[in-house]
Amino acid sequence: MRTICFYFQVHQPFRLKKYRFFDIGNDHHYFNDFENKSIMRKVAEKCYLPTNQTFLDLINEYGDKVKIAYSISGVAIDQFEMYAPDVLESFKKLVATGKVEILSETYSHSLSSLVNREEFERQIKMHRDKVMEVFGVEPQIFRNTELIYSDQIGEYIADLGYKAMIIEGAKHVLGWKSPNYLYCNAINPKLKLLLKNFKLSDDIAFRFSNQAWEDFPLTTEKFVSWLNAIDPKEETVNLFMDYETFGEHQWEETGIFNFLRALPNELFKNSNFTFSTPSDVIKSTEPVGAIHVPHPISWADEERDLTAWLGNELQDEAFGKLYELYDAVKKKNDPQIWKDWLYLQTSDHFYYMCTKWFSDGDVHKYFNPYDSPYEAFVNFMNVLSDFIIRLEEK
């Protein structure tokens, strides 16, 4: 029995408003409520609602046979509650079918795993509590922001009692190995690792509507034939992608929803593949070996490293200055401070400061509310300067 494991990332950041020097010390509201609401409503209409409905229909049609997993960031859940309760309801309906697994992650979709274990664990717990409160299920499997992973991060996660983690099947880490097996952490072999098959995932997520792609157009027949071509001993194909792929990155007009609707039928008819959740996979499969990841990897860009968020002068200064504040935030122990601290950590803020657009331009630019990384940096630092003033106040 071979299986496809679908996991979708659902995330929306709290974008900052234009925050000028003159606002520092005067205005402590940092977020662009109007823009956040409009974007949330737009994505809800184009992606979340229709895609959720599609999966709900498929589950109703095929019963036990269609299974999927989501990771929904805490900041996305917060924004659903504020701007799109209808979306939250439809996710609840999906979870209630029992065919949908919810994964664990950091509350604010943060990069805290890289620098601050205490904050990292605090956010995981916060997110876990939120998921239990909203969906009534306890997440068993962890996925880190942007699939960021290293041996050490895996060890932290194992220590928290998680059984498995979802990571990128980065070529420079795998070498000749296939991502279509279950692996385990190099330090603590109890932690199992599901690796993204980036070729097949990106065929859907990035290349689906690319007319310059030699395999355009992508049909379910073609896709299933590729699955069938995989060595029969390789058991699990992990297809991980942003949920916004459906309807937002790939517009409805590209036929992405039709592809999704037709996929199970084609799969069941012409292959021996099934659908599984990550929890099913770790129950039915044994790890074939350990993966060594001394330096953090992620699912971003060609490099599969951290350079979309960290590495240039702007990002390092903003990131460094932010996490320097942890002790002061803790000492202050004020609910509003904790909340802003959380929202400021969202990885998107650092992504906007990325200067390597010219190579991976399209994806970065599409989601960027700023005209330039410099503007993003100046705005973030102005906000941070005000935040520091609040921390220093008696």
Residues engaged in binding other proteins (CB under 8 A): 20-27, 313-314, 316-318, 320-321, 372, 374, 377-378, 381-382, 384-386, 388-389
Contact in structure between 215 and 202 (CB atoms under 8 Å): no
Shortest Cβ 213–other proteins spacing (Å): 29
The whole-angstrom separation of Cα 168 and Cα 179 is 9
> Which residue in the list 101, 105, 119, 146 is annotated as catalytic?
146
Shortest Cβ 117–other proteins spacing (Å): 24
State the distance between the two ends of the chain, measured CA to CA, in whole angstroms.
Answer: 63
Contact in structure between 87 and 289 (CB atoms under 8 Å): no
Residue spans of alpha helices (H) in 13-116 = 33-43, 49-62, 74-83, 85-96
Q: For other proteins, give the closer residue by CB, 21 or 216.
A: 21
Shortest Cβ 321–other proteins spacing (Å): 6
Q: For other proteins, give the closer residue by CB, 27 or 129.
A: 27
Shortest Cβ 51–other proteins spacing (Å): 39
Q: For other proteins, give the closer residue by CB, 60 or 372.
A: 372
Q: For other proteins, give the closer residue by CB, 19 or 259.
A: 19
The whole-angstrom separation of Cα 61 and Cα 81 is 29
Shortest Cβ 26–other proteins spacing (Å): 4
Q: For other proteins, give the closer residue by CB, 64 or 316.
A: 316
Residue 386: exposure state from Cβ atoms within 10 A (0-12, 13-18, ≥19):
buried
Contact in structure between 184 and 291 (CB atoms under 8 Å): yes
Burial letters 230-257, b for 16+ CB under 10 A, else e: beeeebbbbbbbbbbbbbbbbeeebbbb
Is 146 catalytic? The answer is: yes
The whole-angstrom separation of Cα 202 and Cα 390 is 43
The whole-angstrom separation of Cα 142 and Cα 131 is 13
Which active-site residues does the annotation give? 146
